[in-house]
Amino acid sequence: MDYNENNIFYKILIGEISCQKVYEDSNVLAFYDIHPKALQHIIVIPKGRYVSFDDFAAHGTDHEINAFFRTVQKIANDLGISTDGYRLISNHGKNANQEVPHFHVHLLGGEPLGRKLVKE
């Protein structure tokens, strides 16, 4: 699947749409999910144009992949949700109901999340 710039996270990345920013550096942007499923629900995206985790893992550079996942860990730590625990989710493709075709990780925490994948 080719990357299509006509997606909401790309528009956030280029500043066309605003977001509630949590963190930004040269590789990564993180912002609060507009429909939070936990007390803390952050979307973390790489600045590179990757459709999903599958695309990122296959085609991202070692530097991009390393920077991305280390930054997810740093954000969780900075938010103070590491000690009690958090959940990472990344939807790839239609069976996972991926809505936004720019690779992202959902970082959820700040409260007990239960055993299911996401709080309804």
Instruction: Name the E strands within the chain.
Output: 21-24, 28-32, 40-46, 86-89, 105-109
41 among known catalytic residues:
no
State which of residues 13, 19, 28, 76 lies at the interface with ligand AMP (CB under 6 A).
Answer: 19
Q: Could you tell me the two tokens for 111?
A: 């409260």
Vertex 23 angle, CA 6 and 55, to 5°? 45
Subset of 26-55 contacting ligand AMP (CB under 6 A): 31, 33-35, 43
Residue 82 in the binding site for ligand AMP (CB under 6 A)? no
Exactly one of 41, 102, 104, 106 is catalytic; which is it?
104
Interface residues toward ligand AMP, by CB under 6 A? 8, 17, 19, 31, 33-35, 43, 91, 97-100
